[in-house]
Amino acid sequence: MASHLAVRAIEDAVKHGKAIIKFLSANDVGATRSNQSGFLLPKGAWELYSPHAPKRGENLKSTVSVLWPNGSITQSCVTWYGRAKSEYRLTGGFNSEFPFIDADSVGSLLVLVPVNHANFVAYVLDTDDDIADVQAALGLEVIDVWGVYNPAGAALPETENECIDRQFREFAAKISGWPNTESISGATRSALLQCIRDFIRKTADAKLVDLMEQEFRLFKLVERQLCGPEIQRVFASVDDFVRTASSIMNRRKSRAGWSLENHVAHLLTEAGIPFAPRASEIDGEPDILIPSIEAYNDKRFPVEKLCMVGVKTTCKDRWRQVLKEGKRVPAKHILTMQRGISSKQLLEMKLASVTLIVPEALHKEYPKVPGVKLVKVAEFIDWAGKLVKV
């Protein structure tokens, strides 16, 4: 259930008709010790938060007051760096006592609501439930870098090609009720295989990110088609409205987890790695158990040949769940799409013998911690392939 803070963030975004959401990276909070400071902003949505269009060779500034969730107000600056770089950043007013730009904030969700070019309202959410509720309520899913909520404005430039759009429209035209998650995941894979040249040759890390991003687009297309009549009707009561909205939000939140599990299972199958998905017969019901339930239950089977993977879209406070799963396997793995967590959490995972598997494109969002190594998806698949070889 969304906290009061998350509800306020959703209300402000809807009230003002725009918001930018992003997971705070190690670079944003200065954990990478780079010369950059402040919050990086999406260049493609500059009109929402700056009066200055990007210009090569120029640095352009605008002042802004930002109201933060603890009630503090910073007198900050949105700067376009067009000389040495090519980026917008929100800087200024973030001294050593500012609570939202420290190492523990890595992986938290920043919700920035530009009331106008001179006044912003900002929220920083750090629980998985709040993060999921905000994305579901605003119809966004931050997988790569940004989510931009701007329903009344001009559509942001499409990055998907016409072939994928056509494939998705054809899939949506054939359905009359909600397809199961495997069908949506399968339709996404089919479209990318047919429409993206050499998709099959991409790394497992790149495939997973592409599949997750594109499936969310397909899901939203299906959602508009199936939920349109339901939300346009006259509601019988407030309770009727709340039930309908709750049903839509719950479907959005559960979809992401199933989507990730489906695509991870496909990558393992593609690599010829035997596994049991959703092993309900095993303590804790692991998401992925390698190589099989039979091997796990066979006390003669070497424990070092077993592998358990928790598949979590976010893992800031849910990672400890895997410690209770597949207790015969002492070393756990978590595969996540989380855009960064704090150094403290990474160290806690290491001490608990939990290995984090993260798509390569997201590694830059994590702080560097001595003795802690993030594992790429492709690296894990290679390792698991060797593990199951006789």
**Do residue 264 and residue 285 come from a single domain?**
no
The two tokens of residue 272 are 């010829």
Task: Give percent of the chain above pLDDT 90.
Answer: 47
Residue 297's CATH number: 3.40.91.80
Q: What is the pLDDT of residue 14?
A: 92
- Quick one: 351 and 309 in the same domain? yes
Confidence of residue 159 (pLDDT cuts 50, 70, 90): very low
- C-alpha 6/C-alpha 126 separation (Å) is 10
Pair (167, 111) in one structural domain? no
Q: What is the pLDDT of residue 158?
A: 38
Q: Averaged over 235-254, what is the pLDDT?
A: 78
265 and 222 within one domain? yes
SS3 356: strand
pLDDT for the residue 234: 66
Which pLDDT value is given to residue 160?
47
- Cα 264 from Cα 122, distance rounded (Å): 34
pLDDT at site 114:
93
Segment 15-37, tens digit of pLDDT: 999 999 988 888 777 655 544 56
Calculate ∠ Cα 311-133-254, nearest 5°.
Answer: 40
Is residue 260 assigned to a domain?
yes
Domain with 341, as residue range(s), is: 276-388
Q: Which of 149, 170, 190 is the last residue of a domain?
A: 149
pLDDT band at 144 (very low <50, low <70, confident <90, very high): low
Phi first, then psi: give them for residue 94, nearest 5 degrees: -105, 80
User: For residues 37 and 157, is the Cβ–Cβ distance under 8 A?
Assistant: no
- Tallying the residues shown for the chain, one arrives at 390
Asked whether residue 96 is assigned to any structural domain, the reply reads: yes
Is 171 found in the same domain as 145?
A: no
> Domain boundary residue among 235, 270, 305?
270
Provide the domain count of the chain.
Answer: 3
Structure confidence at residue 153 (pLDDT): 64
Residues 281 and 266 in one domain: no
Same domain assignment for residues 12 and 145: yes
* Domain-terminating residue out of 222, 247, 270: 270
Is the alpha carbon torsion for 16, 27, 209, 7 positive or negative? negative
- pLDDT of 211 > 50? The answer is yes
The single residue listed with the structure tokens 């709750």 is: 246
Residue 157: inside a domain: no
Asked if residues 89 and 71 have their Cβ atoms less than 8 Å apart, the reply is no
Residue 194 pLDDT level (bands cut at 50, 70, 90):
confident
pLDDT tens per residue, range 334-357:
999 998 899 999 999 999 999 999
Instruction: State the sign of the Cα–Cα–Cα–Cα dihedral 364, 365, 368, 373.
Output: negative
pTM above 0.75?
no
Same domain, 8 and 41: yes
- Whether 215 and 184 have beta carbons less than 8 Å apart is answered as yes
* DSSP reduced 3-state for 276: strand
